[in-house]
């Protein structure tokens, strides 16, 4: 069996409880023009996709004028930053998990469909940036999740083979991307499941074939 040498985290819903922030920020921007995404559609269809992809889908399916995309996207990013500054705070069990993994020699990366500025700010505000070897955003790839490009690029950057990397994901688009990259997968339902004990358990299970 391959030995796990790196842990690659998704961000929203894994290290940061930001799903609602993105949902609320986009709806706040869409509401300026009389559009809205229901919570059901967000969870079933849009969760984990980049804002530009969501806007393109709204144009195809619901007639959102494409000339509004740039303005809505800019407003959404501004609203998201406001949520980050007011709500994004360190969680001890995440700091502990990443510090232990780092001390034990694991490489650590974040791969998110968010933009670079958002990832950097969230990681800083949560006191996790110091533990990362690097992070990749949707601006670093041509095809965001559910395409595996972002995970494949991270694995290549780490100089490892896919099975030596454990990807921690929470939503279906991210899970599809992780599996398609060939990486080992730890699927979680919430940020509370992302702790050192659970990560270590998954690493041991993969290395022993359980």
Task: Please give the DSSP secondary-structure letter assigned to residue 185.
Answer: E
pLDDT value at position 45?
86
- From the list 183, 188, 172, 190, the residue with the least C-alpha distance to 206 is 183
31: pLDDT strictly greater than 80: yes
State mean pLDDT over 66-92. 95
102-137: per-residue pLDDT in tens? 999 999 999 999 999 999 999 999 999 999 999 999
Is the pLDDT reported for residue 174 higher than 80? yes
Please tell me the pTM assigned to this model.
0.86
Three-state DSSP at 168 gives strand
Query: For the chain, how are helix, strand and coil distributed in percent, rounded to 5?
Result: 60, 10, 30
191: tokens are 């940020």
Percent of the residues in the chain that have a pLDDT greater than 90, as a whole number: 87
Q: Which two tokens stand for residue 26?
A: 């986009």
Q: Is the pLDDT of residue 65 over 70?
A: yes
- Domains in the chain, ordered, with CATH? 6-16+89-208 (3.40.50.1000), 19-87 (1.10.150)
- The alpha helices in 31-171, defined as continuous H runs, are 39-41, 51-62, 69-87, 92-103, 116-125, 149-158
């Amino acid at each position: 069996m391959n030995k796990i040498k790196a842990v690659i985290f998704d961000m929203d819903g894994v290290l940061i409880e930001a799903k609602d922030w993105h949902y609320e920020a986009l709806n706040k921007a869409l509401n300026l023009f009389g559009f809205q995404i229901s919570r059901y559609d967000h969870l079933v269809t849009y969760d984990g996709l980049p804002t530009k992809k969501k806007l393109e889908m709204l144009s195809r399916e619901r007639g959102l004028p494409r000339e509004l995309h740039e303005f809505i996207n800019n407003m959404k990013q501004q609203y998201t930053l406001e949520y980050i500054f007011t709500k994004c705070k360190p969680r001890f069990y995440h700091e502990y998990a990443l510090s232990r993994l780092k001390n034990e020699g694991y490489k650590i990366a974040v791969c998110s469909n968010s933009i670079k500025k958002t990832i950097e700010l969230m990681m800083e505000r949560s006191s996790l940036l110091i533990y990362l070897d690097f992070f990749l955003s949707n601006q670093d790839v041509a095809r965001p999740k559910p395409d595996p490009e972002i995970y494949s690029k991270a694995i290549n950057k780490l100089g490892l083979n896919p099975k030596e990397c454990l990807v921690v994901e929470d939503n279906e688009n991210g899970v599809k991307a992780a599996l398609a990259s060939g990486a080992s997968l730890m699927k979680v339902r919430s940020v509370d499941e992302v702790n050192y004990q659970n990560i270590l358990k998954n690493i041991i299970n993969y290395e022993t074939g359980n």
